[in-house]
Structure 1
Amino acid sequence: MPELLTAQPNSGILAYDSARWTGGVPRFNRVHNAFGISTVLQCGVDGQGVTEADVPPNDFAVSLFRIGSGAPVDRRVTGRSARKTYRVGEGTLLAPDTDSFWAVDASNNAGWFHVHFSRELLAEVEAAHNLRLETVPDVADRQIMNLVTLIFELVGHREDPEPMLWQSLGQVLLWRLLLLTAGTNRRDEMRGGLAPWQARRTTEYLADNLERRVTLDELAAIARLSPFHFARAFAKTLGMPPYRYHQKLRMERTCELLARSELRVIDIALAVGYESPQALARVFTQTFGCPPSQWRRLHGNG
């Protein structure tokens, strides 16, 4: 049996750190925790041989996905032991109060990406759709993995994720996970869009706060909806999620300032809510196919 190690991971993610590790202590990065959504990437282990993780029940919904190459694992979930080889994109969903056990060779300990959801957020989304999250030992869903990949890339940037984007991606992922145990007749269920006054007030608020990292909670409060209902209603009415709409307004304002002002790119970046010119340039180039400085030469007043 592997030797019990007293050292434990200290990611700050309770549902991850509470596991009892033997045979090695994991190394991790891409840690982010905000609005009831937490991520951590297991990127190796300080140890050799087989590493085991005995995970006690906790208050979080825990989902983990294989980002690296395929890896065989001996696991016990809901009392059932099995040997499972996870291919890239496959994962497991553990509802709150589920204990589990994992044993994997140290050479395969890197490449496990966790996305955890607080009980409070889970309760809100469950109530919104009259669904209950259940443990799903084997998750292999392309849409879910696409969302996980977006979140994985988001936490890989130096800057903290935009609150609206973070909340939106996390809540949509949670909704997709909920649908794994829902009947097929629930999969296309949609609430209506925003009332005209809700759309007007929230879009005006976004336009008036280009320099700020507006949260989904702020917008939902203006519309008098829960954040989850607001995000879906906004997307249905405006044709894009709130974050994308805010980004669209920022790009429009950026073009206006590039063409009609002498402001430096760094000052424009701050004026439209980006922490650095590099952060602005990344989004601007994705949108227009060239960096802001080149766009200014082509479209400025000379």
Structure 2
Amino acid sequence: MSCYQGAQLNSDRPACNQRPVVVKEASWRCIDRLDESGETPRIVIAHWCDKREDLRDLKAPRLTEHYTIEVILRNTVVDCYRDGRRISRGTVGFGGTQITAPGEQVTCSFRRAAEAIHLYVPRSLVARTYAGIHQFQSMSEFQSASDRELFDPAFSADSIMGKLAWTLLEANGLHGPFSGLYCESLAMAVLARAMELKSDGSEVGGSGAGLLPWRLRRTFEYMEENLSEPITLNDIAEHAGLSRMHFAAQFKRATGLSPHSFLTVKRLEMANAMLLDEEIPIVQIALSVGFHSQAHFTSVFRKSTGTTPAQWRKQAAHAGSPVATGV
């Protein structure tokens, strides 16, 4: 199947005369004629929807000059691999975000219907955006901005990112004279959010930057693979190759959460996805995501959401909206 050519957003001039720019992909992450020169930074936006329920393995083209930001719009199940190494597995909720850096090879195995917004962002635009935020004292500092990378959340759910992507898709139906400018602004908002997800706002490479990317990815993988197990801080720190206290401090700087809080968030994300299936008993969900009892699960769930799992399930079933199913 041939790729669909995406419309492009020029960051150097207003887009008020452009038509809406979110286009449909004929196949996953497949876009023709991206500007690989990097001379004119352009964001390409695409919408992908696959209604198949059977298992299918999809391989994204390897892009040398672009980041790919994927934001999931409906709950799905996916195993994702970067350069042959698994980075995430299982249920991905609304707002689940994966960022592929230039030169990386990503393959995904989807086991349910899936829908996503894809943004293809030139690395030069990322560098220029960083340069616009920071005041550099020398040309070498400015040039070093090109070495800054977007952090990959590995399909972790982010409600803000999900809402931005959903609004971007809805905005594509507008036909006013400023609709293109509106879409362009939303695309830059997605990029800004992706940049913010990198850490807690500390400078890259500084003493407050938190865990090195490879340690953080390894930590995320270990947590994802053991959500149903009673893992401890010692277990996680040992897997990351650090002492317990050293790991806990660096992890919080990198994510803004303690390891325990982060693990609880991931367990609740998986629980929310499972609650959408009304045939699964709540006690089974509680045990499947690592809580030792239904009562413990209910207590933590109520503290996080303000409602019980049973009430949340009823509300989600009644709403029936993609946004309502987000974490």
Q: TM-score, normalised by structure 2?
A: 0.42
Normalising by structure 1, we get a TM-score of 0.45
